[in-house]
A = this chain, B = another copy of it.
Amino acid sequence: MTATIGQSVDSLDTPVLIVDLDALDRNLGRMAAFAHEAGVALRPHAKAHKLPLIARKQLELGAVGITCSKLGEAEVLVAGGILGILISSEIVGPTKIARLIALARHARLTIVVDDAENAAAISAAAVDAGINIAALVEVDVGQRRCGVQPGQPAVDLAGVVARLPGLTFTGLQGYEGHLQHVYDRAERKALCDAAMEKLVATRAAVEASGLPVGIVTTAGTGTAEFAVLHEGVTEIQPGSYIWMDCNYARVAGTPYESALSVIATVVSRQRPNDVIVDAGWKALSTDGGMPVALDCPDLTYSPAGDEHGRLTVADGGTLPESGDRVAIVPSHCDTTVNLYDWLIGVRNGVVETIWPIPGRGKTT
């Protein structure tokens, strides 16, 4: 990384991952204010940024804790001084459980379970270590990924968890990840409402079985505004609102700004209707669709290999010259941030921060 604090953004070597710090600040503030006004807890998902410092900013704005997907991300956050963490994916197998128990000595962890045998294994390890871990039962509210079915299966597993020593049953997680990118707002609301009805009905059923449910955690950037309207939902765990990639920008009604981009340079211009830039699959993930050239509606990005991308110009549009720089908005913030070691924070066109990304690549 050859960036220097105070350097003009226009002179940064490329490809480079840039954050607009003003937009980041506004996004952080908007979501914090939204959760406060809605009367729900905010537990932002660190998968979007992978950076303890941004987690700290979220906590200082009122978040009750931080969510992450994997134990490896939690290890990085704890090492960065972030101690209250929900790990939103199941932790399975003896190696993972040993890491969980070790980490729990240094942090306040909450885990999710969707299987009685797995819960029993974690319970036994916690008892051996003389510790206690908070556990949520994960409920499948329609994503068809992890989680038991709503209703009786969740009630049954909650009962198992509540009886296991070394675990404290604290509530439910139900994530409607499959609805985050339903672009139409009315359609997204209707689908989210149906998912939330399953979740709060499950809450009621668990409580009717005699178990108190302290936490019902759910929602992402696309569904937070609908999830909070359901009584019984206690908290939301959005992540992407801080960056708003170009796929989330299509999700109607989300009031967050584009804050993340990759600056690329034109390295070859050989044809009348396209140029080649120095950002390909290794610089811009494409699992969320195609990245978009910022403020260049005439240009269409497509990958042209590991290290190259193609910008094709529409009829009548202007093609950049060799050596020109183009800002490109990622289509999926999580997986694009995961490609970089450094995140360069810019304000007023000048480099203000050079942040390493310690959670990058933490998949285990």
Answer yes or no: A184 CB below 8 A from chain B CBs. Answer: no
Look across to chain B and name the residue whose beta carbon is closest to the beta carbon of A288.
B281
Among the stretches A140-148, A185-193, A206-214, A343-351, the one at the interface with B is A140-148
**Contacting residues, chain B, for A91 (C-beta < 8 A):** 267
- Complex Cα spacing A270 to B13, Å: 47
Question: What distance in Å separates the Cβ of A142 from its nearest Cβ neighbour in chain B?
Answer: 12
Residue from the list B2, B89, B271 in contact with A267, Cβ < 8 A: B89
Interface mask (A88-100 → B, CB under 8 Å = 1, otherwise 0): 0111110110010
Task: Mark out the residues of chain A between 107 and 161 whose CB falls within 8 Å of any chain B CB in the assembled complex.
Answer: 114-115, 117-118, 140, 144-149
Residue from the list B96, B117, B310, B334 in contact with A306, Cβ < 8 A: B334
Where chain A touches its partner, the secondary structure class is: loop
**Contacting residues, chain B, for A146 (C-beta < 8 A):** 267-268, 270, 276, 308
| Contact, CB under 8 Å: B306 / A47 | yes
Answer yes or no: A305 CB below 8 A from chain B CBs. Answer: yes
Answer yes or no: A37 CB below 8 A from chain B CBs. Answer: no
| Contact, CB under 8 Å: B14 / A364 | yes
Answer yes or no: A226 CB below 8 A from chain B CBs. Answer: no
**Of residues A2, A90, A267, A340, which shows the largest number of chain B Cβ atoms within 10 Å of its Cβ?**
A267
Answer yes or no: A307 CB below 8 A from chain B CBs. Answer: yes
| Contact, CB under 8 Å: A267 / B305 | no
Answer yes or no: A69 CB below 8 A from chain B CBs. Answer: yes
**Contacting residues, chain B, for A268 (C-beta < 8 A):** 90, 92, 114-115, 145-147
| Contact, CB under 8 Å: B92 / A267 | yes
**Contacting residues, chain B, for A334 (C-beta < 8 A):** 281-282, 306
Interface mask (A11-50 → B, CB under 8 Å = 1, otherwise 0): 1011110000000000000000000000000000001000
| Contact, CB under 8 Å: B322 / A340 | no
- Complex Cα spacing A334 to B268, Å: 22
Interface mask (A328-344 → B, CB under 8 Å = 1, otherwise 0): 00001011001111000
- Complex Cα spacing A282 to B92, Å: 18
Listed by A's residue number, 17 A-B pairs whose Cβ atoms lie within 8 Å are: A2-B99, A11-B95, A15-B363, A15-B364, A16-B364, A89-B308, A117-B322, A145-B305, A145-B308, A146-B276, A149-B270, A281-B285, A281-B287, A282-B338, A306-B335, A307-B363, A340-B361
A binding-site residues for B, Cβ under 8 Å: 2, 11, 13-16, 47, 69-70, 89-93, 95-96, 99, 114-115, 117-118, 140, 144-149, 177, 265-271, 276, 278-279, 281-283, 285-287, 303-308, 310, 322-323, 332, 334-335, 338-341, 361, 363-364
